[in-house]
Amino acid sequence: MINRKAKGSNAERELIKLLHENNWSAVRIAGSGSSKYPSPDVLAGNGYRRIAIECKTTKDKKKYLSRDEISQLKIFANNFGAEAWIALKFPGKEWIFFMIEDLEEKENSYLASLELANIKGLNLQEILKN
Q: Which residues are catalytic?
A: 32
Chain centre to alpha carbon of residue 89: 9
Residues in CB range of 23: below 8 A, 6 or more apart: 46
- What one-character DSSP code corresponds to residue 59? S
Residues 6 or more apart whose Cβ sits within 8 Å of residue 109: 64, 65, 66, 67
**Measured distance CA(12)–CA(62) in Å, rounded:** 19
Q: Which amino acid is at 13?
A: R
Beta strand pairing status for 62-66 and 109-113? antiparallel
